[in-house]
Amino acid sequence: MSADLQDLEQKLGSAFHDRELLVRALTHKSLSFERKPADDTFVDNEQLEFLGDSILGFVVSESLIRRYPDYAEGRLSKLKAHLVSAAHLYRVAQSLELGRFLQLGRGEEMSGGREKRALLANALEAVIAAIYLDAGLDAAREFIVSRLVEPSGLPERGMDDEINDYKTALQERTQALGLAMPRYLIAKENGPDHAKTFVVEVRVGSSVASRGEGPSKKSAGQMAAKAVLELLASEAPITARVRS
């Protein structure tokens, strides 16, 4: 095994008995297309990604039930959606420097595959499956809880959720105030294709507007909606204004 993979094992906190599982988890389909042998034995990480997604969902659900036994299903679903989201998986993959360990085809390498959000999120799910197959559910659970659940900034029991559907809340608020329905538009896109950030503007009639920024159009829209909710909650009169 290369020194690079030994370094990754240290980051994962798991020394593999079957190191080929780890290699497979890191192998993108672009490489298998280029090197597929005559006997069709070369495999990529897509099946492991499929398995890892299920393991991740189960362990996160279990962890949330244990941590918040009195939360309603809807509230738990919001927290779970955050923890299993591609954006969260991408951040964790970056913290592990997973991109530098990937095995990519030439085309994917040239197009910046080591920094692509979806590719890194999928690879992390494959690594979770590899840990499960190599060392069992307890090892996979320990990795998921320590890397994806505990450092995620989840709210303490009894506190309001920090992860909310601000767009829905804004729609409900504007309806209650008799205001126009919120309108969203993409104001700006920044950065290369594999690491874009978006600025979304939301307007409520002609009197209130604000902007939000995020790594996806959805998250930027949520941040914009949150900012308008804060404007509507302020004591200042509602006049034409844009918060950037």
Catalytically annotated residues: 53, 125
Q: What's the DSSP call for residue 234?
A: S
Sign of the torsion angle spanned by Cα atoms 126, 128, 133, 134: positive
The CA distance from 195 to 124, in Å, is: 17
Whether 24 contacts 48, CB under 8 Å: yes
The CA distance from 223 to 166, in Å, is: 8
The CA distance from 188 to 198, in Å, is: 6
